[in-house]
Structure 1
C-alpha cells in the first residue's frame, strides 16, 4: 500500500488521463457503430461501454500492480471496425463469436505461442514498429494547425516552455492550456453529457458457422496482428519485459467473462500505453506503472458512469485531443526511431518496418502494423541469406 502511494505522482495521473482521453475519443464512435450494426438497443449500447470500460480498467490496474510495469489494455479498434462492417449477423450469434475469439486468445496466451513469435522479432524492428504506429499521431497533431491554429499553437508553445522550465509537468501544462483556450473559444461541448449510471445487459450467446467464419476468426486475427503485436513491441521498445503470455491470457479471460455484456475483445494497448511508458509519465521508469494504474481507474469510472463520462470525453474538440496525443508521444517517437536506427545491420529492416507501418496499409482486413513486421522480417531474412 505505502509502496505505490510513495510512487504516485501528478504526472503519472495526468498521463493516465491523457491515455484514456486519447483512447476513447479516437475510436468510441467506431464502437458505437459496431454495436448498432448488430442491432443493439440503447440499453445494450450502454452495456457495451460498461463492459469495455470495466474490462480495460480491471485488467490494466491488475496487470500493472502485479508486474510493477505499465501494462495498459484496450478494446480492439480494428475489431470494432470489422464488426461495424458486418451485416446480417444477429446480436446473439455475434456474442457467440466473441466467446470463440476469447477462447482462441486464451489458447495463444496459455501455450506461449504468441510470446515465442514475439521473441523472434529484433528490438530494432520492434522499435521501428512502435515509431511507425505513433508517428501518425504526430502528423495528425501538425495537420490540426490548419483548422485550429490558436489552440494547437498555444499547446505547442506550452509544451516547449514546459519542457524547458518543468519537464516533468510539461504534458499536464499542455492539457490545462488546451482546455483553457478551447473554453475561451466556446469549443467545449458539454451538451452531450447524460448523467446516468450504466447498467449491464446480458445477451445469451448463440453459435453459427456464419458468425464463426465471418466474425470470430477475423476478429481474432486482427486483434492479435494489429493490436497485441504492436502492444508487445511498444513494451519492449520502451525497455519493459512484462509477461506476455500471462497478459494475453488475462485479456482473453476478460473477453470471455464480459462478451455477453458487450466486451467483444480486449488486447494490449500500444498507442495509449506509449503515453504511460514515456518520460512524461515519470522520470523514473520504475514508477511509470502508476500511469497505467491511473488509466485503469479512469477506465473503470468510464465504464460505471457510461454515457456521462463518455460524453465528457467527447466534449473535447478533436484538435485538442490530436494535439495532446501528438505532443505527449514526441519523446516516445524519437526514442523508437533512435533505437530502430542505432545498429547499421538492422537499419534497412527497421526503416522498411517504419515506412510500411506509417503508411496505414490495410490488406486482407489486417492493419499496417502487421505488414510492417512482415516487411522488416523479409528484409532481415534476405540479409541473413546474403551474409551466409
Structure 2
C-alpha cells in the first residue's frame, strides 16, 4: 500500500512546492505588463489548469514522469520588461506568438536545435540579467518594510538550512500572516476563480521585445533543462511531443492571461527521481497526480491574488526574489563558466539587467544582441595549435556516473 501511494504523494508534493514557490513571481509579472488584479488571477488560474492537464496527458500518454509548469523565468522576464506600447492587450498578443513559436519548435526540430545552439554563457547571462532586479527585492523589502520583511527572511533562512524544499512556501506563509495582521483588507479581486478573456493586439515592439525573449527564455531555461533532468534519470523523453502539447496549452491559455506553459525544470526531480518510486516504470503516476494537484490549486487563484493585492508590492517581490535565488545562481554559473566568453556574458547581463527600452523593445532582446555581437567580434582564436606534450600514464580511478550528454538532449529534441 505504501509503495502504491508513494508516487501519488510525490506528485502532490511537487504540485504544492511548484505552486507555492513561484505563484508570486507569476502575479508580479502579469501585473508588471499591465494586468489588473482580476486579469492576473485569471492568468494564474488558466496556467494552473493548462499545466495540470498537460502533465496528466503527457504522463498517461508516454508513461513518463514529465512534469509541466508555468515559465517562472518567463514571469521574471515580464517583471523586467514592464509596460509596453499597447498595454495588456499587446502583452496577450505576445503570449500567443510565443505559444506559436513553441508549437513550431515541436513541429520542426531544427528550431529547437537552434535555440539549444545559443551559446550557454549568453543564454545564462540573459536569464541572470532578467532575474537580478527581482532578486534584489528582499534587500529593498528590508529597507522599505522591515517589520514585514524581516520575519519572512528569517523563516526562509531557517527552513533553507533544515528543510530546503519548504523554504519559499514557509516564507509565503509568514508573509501571509504578516499581511493579515497589518491590513484591514480591501482591494484585490474576488475569491471565486474567474476566467477573464482579453482580445489581443499586435505590435512589432511587443513581438520583438516580449514574444521572442519569452520563447527563448522558456526554451533555454525550462524545456531544455527539463529534458536534461529526465535524461539524467535514464528516460528518453519525446521533447517534440511535449513542445506541441505545452505550446497548444500556451495558445489556449494566452487570451485569459497565461504567459507560457512548459516542461518543469525545478520540480522535475521530485517526480522523476527515486523518491517518487523505486521502480522507474511507476514514476509516471507522479506526473499525473502532479497535474491533478496543480489544477486543483488553481481554483484558489482568486484568493491568493486578493491576498497579494493587500500586500505592499515590495513584500511580494521579495518573496518572489527568494524563490529565484537558486535559478540566479545556476544562471550565473552557466554565464561565467567559459573564460573566453566571460566578457560577452557580462555585457549581456549588464544590458539585460539595466532594463533599457529602445524603440519599445525591452532589455532582454538588446542584451542577447549585445552579447552575441561581443562574442562574434572579440572571441579569442588560437593562432597555433597546441603542442602535445607526453605524459605518464595515469592509474585507473573510479568515476561517478556520466552526466547527460548533449547528444542525448539533441536526440530528445529530434523526437
> What is the TM-score when the length of structure 1 is the normalising length?
0.70
Q: Return the alpha-carbon distance in structure 2 between the equivalents of residues 114 and 258 of structure 1.
A: 23
Residue 232 in structure 1 maps to residue 219 in structure 2: yes
TM-superposed deviation, 1:227: 0.9
Q: Name the structure 2 match of 1:91.
A: none
| Matches for 1:178-257 after TM superposition, within 5 Å | 178-184=175-181, 186-187=182-183, 189=185, 192-198=188-194, 215=202, 220-235=207-222, 236=224, 240=229, 245-257=240-252
CA contact (8 A) 1:55 1:263 kept: no
Whether the 8 Å contact between 1:25 and 1:313 is mirrored in structure 2 is: no
CA gap of 1:11–1:150, structure 2 versus 1, over 3 A, is farther
In the other structure, the counterpart of 1:351 is 346
Which runs of structure 2 are paired with 1:145-160 in the superposition (5 Å)?
145-160=142-157
- Contact map agreement 2:67 2:271 (CA 8 A) in 1: no
Per mean C-alpha deviation after superposition, the further-off stretch among 47-56 and 313-322 is 47-56
CA separation in 1, counterparts of 2:184 and 2:262? 27
Residues 19-45 of structure 1 show CA distances to partners (whole Å, capped at 9, x for unaligned) of 123212442474535x9xxxxxx9x99
Determine the C-alpha separation between the residues in 2 that align with 1:283 and 1:173: 24
**Once the 2 structures are TM-superposed, how far is the Cα of residue 320 of structure 1 from its aligned partner?**
2.9
User: Deviations 1:301-354 (Å, cap 9, x if unpaired)?
Assistant: 54x567455324434442332221222222222232223222312222222222
Contact 1:129 1:369 (C-alpha < 8 Å) held by counterparts: yes
Give the corresponding residue for 1:267: 260
Deviation at 1:256, TM superposition (A): 4.6
Cα–Cα, structure 1 residues 386 and 218, in superposed 2: closer, same or farther, change >3 Å?
same
- Alpha-carbon contact 1:60-1:292 (below 8 Å) kept: yes
- Which structure carries more helix by proportion? 1
Match of residue 171 from structure 2: 174
Counterpart residue number, 1:137: 134
**Structure 2 equivalent of residue 336 of structure 1:** 331
CA distance in 2 between counterparts of 1:104 and 1:359 reads: 27
TM-score scaled to structure 2, two decimals?
0.66
Please say if residues 187 and 309 of structure 2, whose CA atoms lie closer than 8 Å, have aligned partners that are also in contact: no
Alpha carbons of 1:163 and 1:85: their partners in 2 closer, same or farther (altered >3 Å)? closer
Q: 1:292 & 1:18 partners in 2: Cα distance?
A: 20
Structure 2 residues without counterparts, runs of 5 or longer: 232-236, 277-282, 384-415
Give 1:86 deviation, angstroms.
6.8
State the secondary structure of the residue aligned to 1:72: strand
* Kept after mapping to 1: 8 A contact 2:41/2:305: no
Once residues 142 and 182 of structure 1 are traced to their aligned partners in structure 2, the CA distance between those partners, rounded to angstroms, is: 18
Q: 2:22 aligns with which of 19, 24, 46?
A: 19
Shift of 1:52: 5.5
State the superposition RMSD in angstroms. Answer: 4.6
Q: Distance in 2 between matches of 1:30 and 1:297?
A: 28
Q: For 1:319 and 1:381, locate their aligned partners in 2 and report how far apart those are by CA, in whole Å.
A: 39
Distance 1:350 1:234 in 2: 16
Q: Distance in 1 between matches of 2:322 and 2:98?
A: 35
Shift of 1:291: 10
Task: For structure 1, list consecutive stretches of 5 or more residues without a partner in the other structure.
Answer: 36-41, 88-93, 206-210
SS state of the match for residue 260, structure 2?
Answer: strand
Per the TM alignment, residue 146 of structure 1 is displaced from its structure 2 partner at its CA by 2.3
1:254 offset after TM fit, Å? 2.8
Deviation, structure 1 residue 363: 3.0
Aligned length: 356
Instruction: Tell me how far 1:144 sits from its aligned partner.
Output: 1.8
